[in-house]
Amino acid sequence: MAPDGQTLAPNVYDAEPIPDAARAEIDRLLTSGDLFRYTAPADAPVALLEVEFANLLGARYALAVSSCSAALFLSLKALDLPKGAKVLIPAFTFAAVPSAVVHADCAPVLVEVGQNYRVDMADFAAKLPGADAVMISHMRGHTSDMDAIMALADAAGVPVIEDAAHSLGTTWGTRNIGTIGRIGCFSFQSYKLVNAGEGGIMVTDDPELAARAIIMSGAYEQNWKKHPGLQNSFGHWQNKLPLYNLRMQNLSAAVIRPQLPLVAERVAKGLANHDYVAGRLNSTTTLHVPPALPQESRAPDSIQFNLIGDWTDAQATGFQSAAKARGVSVQVFGLSDGNARAFWNWQFLGDPPDLPQTRAMLMRACDVRLPARLTRPELDYIADALIDAATDACNQ
């Protein structure tokens, strides 16, 4: 509280402390020096994390790696796609996603995304013929229509990888996001629900894909024997695949494991916070939070909303400044310089494709962090600041 009784703009940038339980385990690892996942004969922290994560998600196999980008890359390699294979990705995602596709010697094909941040199914259906794989990025945890995507992809015999980097805790009907496609990939980078600084994990029910990904992640010689349940598959692949060495180390697993039991509570709080602020923004005629799809239960740690009505670019920029003056940082994806989520900035792909729908969305879609720890007065502070900033900007 400020001296005059007003709530100060909340700090939405600091991370949550890592649970105390991590300390004893980190101390133990530092004392023994046992940081490499394959040194211990069994029960290394990384191996335990894989079992716990697979159980949490309801998947048969999990492989912990150095980042979600590494998991996405290994997923494509595990599918054994031909060089230059076409991989459909949403045009609204983080630059790491097309980068993983390029890294795997494949060619990304960008699919239009609607005003609701989800894959445009008409464009998806039009671009699917000729595609070798689909990588669905649930950007900021917004889930595309997985029933429609799986029906079309299955009918076409095209494998689906889910980029669930930011979707831990999101459900689709009775399923966990990340378990619907052939492989699901998650991130433990600091801006995600579970924070290890860096890290990633992939889940699959397919023993062949798991075995191939495990070997390529760097399970050299007989180290694959430390991954349970896959012995037949491994025997076939040993020494036939390159080793990319994208392993996770034990310290990361020690930071992640005590956070897994907190996921459900973080999801519940994050969703309640999000829906409260969404309700307030949706009471205006200038700001709009698109609803989740009916099958989707979200796990948000930020809020995205559109500037609706006749906003000019200057008014949208003015909105960012007016919010900033009130202590609330808003990013309009398409208006912040060099934004890594705006497809026209992915210059490593060559000339940007013509994607008018996604471009229009990005020019008016806003992003505000909303961590689960915020209190109701802090949420009201943020909502008030955004609503007042919109009023100011529209009167310009």
- Name the site residues for ligand PLP (rule: CB under 6 A): 67-69, 93-94, 96-97, 137, 139, 163, 165-166, 187, 189, 200
- Shorter beta-carbon distance to ligand PLP: residue 263 or 308: 263
Q: How far is the CB of 246 from ligand PLP (least distance, A)?
A: 11
Strand partners, 297: 171
Q: How far is the CB of 144 from ligand PLP (least distance, A)?
A: 12
Strand partners, 88: 109, 134
- Shorter beta-carbon distance to ligand PLP: residue 46 or 165: 165
Q: How far is the CB of 167 from ligand PLP (least distance, A)?
A: 8
CA distance 62 to 73: 15
- Shorter beta-carbon distance to ligand PLP: residue 12 or 322: 12
Edge-first strand listing for the sheet containing 86-90: 61-65, 200-204, 183-187, 160-163, 133-137, 86-90, 107-111
Q: How far is the CB of 186 from ligand PLP (least distance, A)?
A: 8
CA distance 218 to 95: 25
- Shorter beta-carbon distance to ligand PLP: residue 109 or 230: 109
- Shorter beta-carbon distance to ligand PLP: residue 139 or 149: 139
Q: List, as own/partner pairs, every contact residues 295-298 make where C-beta atoms lie below 8 angstroms and the sequence separation is at least 24, other chains included.
A: 295/146, 295/147, 295/172, 295/173, 296/143, 296/170, 296/171, 296/172, 297/170, 297/171, 297/271, 298/141, 298/142, 298/143, 298/170, 298/271, 298/274
- Shorter beta-carbon distance to ligand PLP: residue 270 or 318: 270
In this structure, the dihedral spanned by the alpha carbons of residues 354, 359, 360 and 364, taken in order and rounded to 10 degrees, is: -170
- Shorter beta-carbon distance to ligand PLP: residue 245 or 396: 245
Q: How far is the CB of 170 from ligand PLP (least distance, A)?
A: 12
* C-alpha pair distances (Å), 65 with each of 47, 50, 185, 204: 11, 10, 10, 14
- Shorter beta-carbon distance to ligand PLP: residue 199 or 290: 199
Is the torsion defined by CA of 65, 187, 23, 15 positive or negative? positive
Q: How far is the CB of 116 from ligand PLP (least distance, A)?
A: 16
- Shorter beta-carbon distance to ligand PLP: residue 139 or 289: 139
Q: How far is the CB of 177 from ligand PLP (least distance, A)?
A: 11
Q: How far is the CB of 141 from ligand PLP (least distance, A)?
A: 8
- Shorter beta-carbon distance to ligand PLP: residue 187 or 217: 187
**CB distance 11 to 17 below 8 Å:** no
The amino acid that residue 202 corresponds to is: M
CA distance 121 to 113: 9
Q: How far is the CB of 188 from ligand PLP (least distance, A)?
A: 7
Q: How far is the CB of 239 from ligand PLP (least distance, A)?
A: 28
